[in-house]
């Protein structure tokens, strides 16, 4: 078992290391590589040896590397066993097949909710004796405020799979959906398939006080969801966690609540809040800025958290690193989250050294024009040079 590092000692080491204005050997190049602004930290959290410290204090756009911060805070705040819950409730008694009152579908922000999950809830209601509802079907999506888009998302992103905002009650495959309409329409259908008719209207409303539980659908635990989120870089999962953390600050959870929750938790871990500006959970926002020093501090604190480390893509093997480092000294030894968007190429995670030490690796390039491919390829070659002997 690796000993946890002293964060204060690590911070001191990073501050003491000379922040080079020029790129370390091999990082400088031609074309977009040459004009890119590079920031990097490579540090051993056990010994505090700083192998690379290149502009560690410079705020840079992290792209999907930001999911690392969301993951760490979610694990720390919610726990690896946390599950999103979608609940079915009733405002009146059930007798002779009639629910004399309203049926309530209450969303818990589950980004994995599917039509089949709703069908299971409908069948549970039928098993509880419900054949007809005399009142309305109420759809409670009040946990998360709308609109669910975060500041700094560009219009081009909003109709894509990766630009799907979060909602308290929504279906995982309902891209671009707002509020609770897709889930509501699907639930009416599955209720009928289960033999349940609703006499009243379908409307959005908070759960009335005193409503009794009929059934509950829990998601998979957070530890499992993070594996999919980080290996496949699933923005909707990260945004759901971002707003769920925000709900601990304020309900309905707004973007600023998620930002406050993340910033406060990172500050409590010893990260200087001046080093971070986080406005979403996935890194899609152009307003997100983080220093590589801050990312390195968070990774150093989490280097022994198996739920977190196991969620990261493995070089040359799976996730977003399946086709990178497929040969050479880093294959199978580097676990890292990638980040890619226009003018951003980033990678951050861990290298398992041959002597048993786990190195923290953070490299981010910003500000280049043109394809990300040459920058990404150059980054990979440079990492092989820097880390291959470790």
Q: What is the CATH number of the domain that holds 283?
A: 3.40.710.10
Q: Is residue 168 part of a domain?
A: no
User: Based on the domain organization, do 53 and 198 belong to the same domain?
Assistant: no
User: Based on the domain organization, do 269 and 354 belong to the same domain?
Assistant: yes
User: Based on the domain organization, do 43 and 113 belong to the same domain?
Assistant: no
Return the higher-pLDDT residue of 369 and 1.
369
Q: Is the pLDDT at 176 greater than 70, yes or no?
A: no
Q: Is the pLDDT at 26 greater than 50, yes or no?
A: yes
Band of the pLDDT at 24, cuts 50, 70, 90? Answer: low
CA distance 136 to 100: 10
pLDDT average, residue stretch 334-352: 97
Q: Is residue 157 part of a domain?
A: no
User: Based on the domain organization, do 382 and 235 belong to the same domain?
Assistant: yes
Contact by Cβ (8 Å): 130, 105: no
b/e map of 172-189 (b: 16 or more CB within 10 Å)?
bebbebebbbbbbebbbe
User: Based on the domain organization, do 276 and 339 belong to the same domain?
Assistant: yes
Rounded to two decimals, the pTM is: 0.91
User: Based on the domain organization, do 128 and 53 belong to the same domain?
Assistant: no
User: Based on the domain organization, do 129 and 237 belong to the same domain?
Assistant: no
Nearest residue to 257 (alpha-carbon basis) of 153, 166, 171? 166
Q: Within 10 A of 274 (CB to CB), how many other CB atoms are there?
A: 11
pLDDT at position 3, please?
Answer: 45
pLDDT at position 15, please?
Answer: 56
CA distance 182 to 107: 12
Q: Is 306 exposed, middle or buried (0-12, 13-18, 19+ CB in 10 A)?
A: exposed
pLDDT average, residue stretch 355-361: 96
CA distance 300 to 281: 20
Query: For 327, what's the count of Cα atoms within 13 Å in the CB-facing half-sphere?
Result: 0
The last residue of one of the domains, among 168, 197, 219, is: 219
Q: Which residues does 7 contact at the CB level (< 8 Å), separation at least 6?
A: 269, 270, 297, 300, 301
CA angle 258, 165, 235 (to 5 degrees): 80
Q: Is residue 161 part of a domain?
A: no
Domain containing residue 94:
85-141+180-219
Tokens of 180: 């609770």
User: Based on the domain organization, do 94 and 233 belong to the same domain?
Assistant: no
pLDDT at position 181, please?
Answer: 84
pLDDT average, residue stretch 221-240: 96
The last residue of one of the domains, among 159, 194, 219, is: 219
pLDDT average, residue stretch 24-35: 67
User: Based on the domain organization, do 209 and 253 belong to the same domain?
Assistant: no
Tokens of 333: 């030894």
Mean pLDDT in the chain? Answer: 90
User: Based on the domain organization, do 243 and 366 belong to the same domain?
Assistant: yes
Q: Is the pLDDT at 21 greater than 50, yes or no?
A: no
Tally of domains in the chain: 2
Q: Is residue 166 part of a domain?
A: no
Band of the pLDDT at 149, cuts 50, 70, 90? Answer: confident
Tokens of 208: 């009335």
b/e map of 1-28 (b: 16 or more CB within 10 Å)?
eeeebebeebbebbeebeeeeebbeebe
* CATH number for position 98: 3.50.80.20
């Amino acid at each position: 078992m690796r000993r946890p590092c002293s964060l204060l000692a690590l911070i001191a080491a990073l501050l003491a290391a000379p922040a080079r204005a020029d790129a370390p050997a091999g990082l400088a190049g031609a074309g977009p590589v040459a004009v890119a602004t590079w920031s990097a930290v490579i540090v051993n959290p056990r010994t505090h040896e700083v192998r690379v410290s290149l502009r560690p204090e410079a705020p840079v756009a992290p792209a999907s590397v930001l999911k690392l911060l969301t993951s760490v805070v979610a694990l720390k705040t919610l726990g690896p066993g946390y599950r999103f819950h979608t609940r079915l409730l009733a405002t009146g008694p059930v007798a002779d097949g009639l629910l004399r009152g309203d049926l309530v579908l209450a969303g818990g922000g589950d980004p994995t909710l599917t039509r089949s999950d709703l069908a299971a809830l409908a069948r549970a209601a039928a098993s509880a004796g419900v054949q007809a509802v005399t009142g309305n079907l109420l759809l409670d999506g009040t946990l998360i405020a709308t609109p669910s888009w975060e500041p700094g998302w560009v219009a081009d992103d909003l109709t894509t799979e990766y630009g799907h905002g979060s909602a308290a009650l929504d279906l995982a495959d309902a891209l671009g959906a707002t509020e609770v309409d897709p889930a509501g329409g699907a639930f009416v259908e599955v209720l009928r398939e289960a033999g349940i008719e609703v006499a009243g209207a379908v409307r959005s409303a908070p759960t009335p006080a005193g409503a009794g539980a009929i059934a509950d659908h829990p998601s998979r635990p957070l530890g499992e969801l993070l594996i999919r989120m980080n290996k496949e870089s699933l923005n909707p999962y990260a945004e759901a966690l971002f707003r769920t953390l925000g709900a601990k600050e304020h309900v309905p959870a707004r973007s600023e609540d998620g930002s406050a929750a993340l910033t406060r938790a990172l500050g409590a871990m010893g990260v200087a809040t001046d080093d971070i500006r986080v406005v979403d959970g996935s890194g899609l926002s152009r307003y997100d800025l983080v220093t590589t020093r801050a990312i390195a501090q968070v990774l150093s604190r989490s280097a022994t958290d198996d739920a977190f480390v196991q969620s990261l893509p493995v070089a040359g093997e799976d996730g977003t690193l399946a086709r990178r480092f497929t040969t050479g000294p880093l294959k199978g030894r580097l676990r890292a989250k990638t980040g890619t968007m226009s003018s951003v190429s980033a990678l951050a995670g861990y290298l398992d050294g041959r002597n048993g030490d786990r190195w923290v690796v953070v490299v981010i390039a910003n500000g280049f024009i043109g394809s990300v491919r040459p920058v990404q390829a150059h980054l990979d070659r440079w990492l092989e040079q820097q880390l291959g002997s470790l």
